[in-house]
Amino acid sequence: MSLLSAPVDAVPMGRLQLSDLPRLARRHPLVITGGGLLALLIILALAAPLYAGDPVNMDPFNRLQPASAEMWFGSDNLGRDVFARTIFGARISLMVGLLSAASAAMAGLLIGIIAGFSRSFDNIVMRVMDGLMSIPTILLAIALISLTGPGIGILVVAIAIPETPAVARLVRSVVLGVRERPYVEAALCGGARLPKVLWRHILPSTVPALMVQGATVCASAILTEAGLSFLGVGVPPEIPSWGNMIANSRLYLALAPMTIFAPG
């Protein structure tokens, strides 16, 4: 039986097995190390209410105190626990980063797949993506936030929109390469519907590149959120975040350096 006459289900596809993880760990130790540190940070952030203090409780009589048994990183200019604010700020930064990365990945995946299969759609939408990529991320995010007002929800959208074009272009390039492969042409010639071909053959091919790009977008989103919060247009001031902490403590670097070093 030739490849062209083979049914769609007969075309072999690679699968990542659980037994492959030790081999991948040996071949990519930096990836495993980075993933482990990220997982540890996520666990610490999620479990913050169990061991960290109150991040918003103010004690004016204990302003800018050094590290102690009660406050591991000392206190800020309002007497708040820097360690608690750093851990709770990690929850906000990670949440904004992960949600922004997921939103950009989903939108970019949809745009990239459609652009890879539709020439007319490709010509129009990719020019729009090029235009968005020419605008600095923080500048575009500030413009979007200024139209709607601050808030975590709009912050996620404002960060995800500038990050979407890079994901869309990456997915489009993968789709353009995969759509010419024999097993995809065989599936289409065999009468398989386009949605099934996209789901079974095109989408799995985009996952590795999408995971790498998603990690990059997540890191960029965390830095963008910190920058926007530092400028006062990101997370509301009453919510602890790394950017807010640096902005509030920048004048006290010499007196209490941990107020800057901990969130930075």
* 186: CATH: 1.10.3720.10
In a domain, 75, yes or no: no
Structure tokens at 247: 């902005």
Is residue 129 predicted with pLDDT exceeding 70? yes
Q: Note the pLDDT of residue 228.
A: 85
Residue range of the domain that includes 164: 24-48+81-261
Block residue for tokens 């930096």: 30
> Of the segments 101-115, 119-133, 246-260, which one has the largest average pLDDT value?
101-115
For residue 221, pLDDT over 80 is answered with yes
**Is the pTM value of this prediction over 0.85?**
no
Going by the DSSP 8-state scheme, the letter that residue 43 receives in this structure is: H
Q: Is residue 70 part of a domain?
A: no
Question: What is the pLDDT, as a whole number, of residue 203?
Answer: 75
Query: Which of 214-217's residues contact partners 24+ apart within 8 Å by CB, and which partners?
Result: 214/101, 214/102, 214/104, 214/105, 214/167, 215/101, 217/100, 217/101, 217/104, 217/105, 217/163, 217/166, 217/167
Residue 36 domain-assigned (yes or no): yes
The confidence band for 40, taking pLDDT boundaries of 50, 70 and 90, is confident
| φ/ψ of residue 81, rounded to 5 | -70, 115
Q: Is residue 61 part of a domain?
A: no
Q: Which of 140, 109, 105 is nearest to 217 (CA)?
A: 105
143 assigned to some structural domain: yes
Q: Which of 9-18, 38-47, 104-113, 123-132 has the lowest mean pLDDT?
A: 9-18
Is residue 1 over pLDDT 70?
no
Count of CB atoms situated within 10 Å of the CB of 56: 14
- Residue at token pair 């272009």: 169
Is position 8 within any domain?
no
Statement: residue 71 has pLDDT above 80: no
In a domain, residue 112? The reply is yes
Domain presence at residue 170: yes
Nearest-5° Cα angle at 214, 25 to 24: 10
Q: Is the pLDDT of residue 149 over 60?
A: yes
Residues 6+ apart with CB under 8 A from 187: 8, 11, 196, 197, 200, 201
Q: How far is CA 161 from CA 16, 108, 166, 226, 249, in A?
A: 31, 9, 10, 17, 30
| Residue whose pair of structure tokens reads 């500038």 in the numeric block | 162
Cα of first residue to Cα of last residue in the chain, in angstroms, is 61
Please report the pLDDT score of residue 22 as a whole number.
67
- Residue 75 φ/ψ, nearest 5 degrees: -125, 160
